[in-house]
Amino acid sequence: MSQSERFDAAVIGGGPAGTSAAIILAKAGKHVVLFERSRFPRFQIGESLLPACWELWRRLGVTEKIEAEGFTVKQGANFGMFNQKPDVLLLTAEYPGYFERPYTYHVERARFDEILLEHAAECGVDVRREWAVADVLFDGKRAIGVSAGPNDSDPAPIHASVVIDASGRESLIARKLNWRRPLPELNKIAHFAHFKGGFRRDPHGFINFGDVIDGSVTTDIHTIDGGWIWYIPLRDDIVSVGAVLDTRFAKNLGDSPQQRFDAAIQSCDCVQEWLADAEQAMDIKTISSIGYMNERFHGDGFMLVGDASMFVDPVFSAGVTLAMRSGVYAADAALEGFANCDDFSAARFSHYEARIREPMGRIFQMIYNWYRILEQKDANNIILRSRQSPMLRERFIVLLSGGYDMVSMKQILEAGQEPSSTYLIS
């Protein structure tokens, strides 16, 4: 390996954010290197996608590969709120004009992420698997490359005009610059696992709008004391089940992750029944300190994308959509820099941060309000009221399908004739 290696862009991380950025840059003719520390395929959470992904997949040129994989079709989301029946079923097909297609997928992230990484290599990205980035190189305040090498070997300098940090929760640059900021209001912990043989509803028995796709499902979200449960059917008779809990509350449910998970499931009659004949297929996994937002997402010569910039609570399945969108937006900003006399200044990249913070801000407002509803156990909340209000329902569905540039929390409150003081909208 030559110490004089130089690239137009160096991308740290091979998840959806990093591969999206790398693909866009490579398709534009740029010399891109991407470093991925892990051996693929590897397990990852974030299995419920959104219809807004179709636009991103088309831009990446990966639509046909996603379709051909045979992932489980997701037609919407179903909310079980405080054991009030009926549940709130929200289907993208009710308002199909907002998105390229009124459905999306539940994916095994090990395979989904590998499809994107393989596609990046096919597009000309120099993909270096099982390579670790030890540090980001700076000249003053400007990023000029990385120190990287194969796992378990000494790193060497590799220079690049632009560094895109997609290192996930490791947040390599943000930690180096002390930009990481926790969100105390979202101090949650998630315990989750896969199960074999969990219950699946027949879509013809509960999907009541538009075309019913055979074998399709919804993402189920059910409230419990101290948090909520996700239920995400996947291929091969596997279902992903997770409990997201207030960290302090979780301590009262048991000493181990398995004990806390079991107690959460036992508190939800619906999910407990669905798993009665299922077999747990893996040890419980845990993500703690779920919420954080970095102080900045850019600087001279670098941008932060995906979980390296912030980590979003999983309740509305926004993570992968925001990650891919941030990667695409960062690549757009880098290409603008190349087109303007190689201007990779913080001033140039500030447009990227403004562009991605708008959809991030809108989903975070929704998340904050979700937890306020749970804390107050509000039996007249705007999610339940969307069953009777067509305008409120439409705006909810668009937002929860990933249309963050189309609907704001303020518009949702207006549709629900809800005073803004009732919810957090700042």
Contacts of 220 (CB under 8 A, 6+ apart): 77, 78, 80, 230, 231, 232, 271
At residue 228, the 3 state secondary structure works out as: strand
Highest mean pLDDT among 33-37, 360-364, 382-386, 401-405: 33-37
- Tell me what pLDDT residue 424 has: 45
What tokens were used for 94?
């009710």
Report, as an integer, the average pLDDT of 171-196: 95
pLDDT at position 333 is 98
Q: How far apart are CA 295 and CA 345, in angstroms?
A: 18
Q: How confident is the model at residue 332 (pLDDT cuts 50, 70, 90)?
A: very high
**Which pairing describes strands 156-165 and 6-12: parallel, antiparallel, or unpaired?**
parallel
Please tell me the predicted confidence (pLDDT) of residue 405: 86
The token pair at 14 is 């091979």
Q: Give me 164's structure tokens.
A: 């895109």
Cis before residue 184, ω within 30 degrees of 0?
Answer: no
Pick from 224, 319, 299: which is nearest to 265 by CA?
224
Domains with residue ranges and CATH for the chain: 6-61+110-181+293-362 (3.50.50.60), 72-106+188-287 (3.30.9.100), 378-422 (no CATH)
**Helix, strand or coil, per DSSP, at residue 156:** strand
- The pLDDT of residue 10 is above 60: yes
pLDDT in tens, 54-85: 999 999 999 999 999 999 999 999 999 988 88
End-to-end CA distance of the chain: 50
Place of tokens 């004391």: 225
Q: Which residue has the tokens 């990046």?
A: 120
CA atoms within 13 A on the CB side of 192: 23
Q: What is the pLDDT of residue 354?
A: 97
Residue 217 has pLDDT above 60, yes or no: yes
Query: 10 has which bridge partners?
Result: 33, 163
With contact defined as beta carbons under 8 Å apart, do 131 and 37 qualify?
yes
Name the band, by pLDDT with cuts 50, 70 and 90, for residue 418.
low
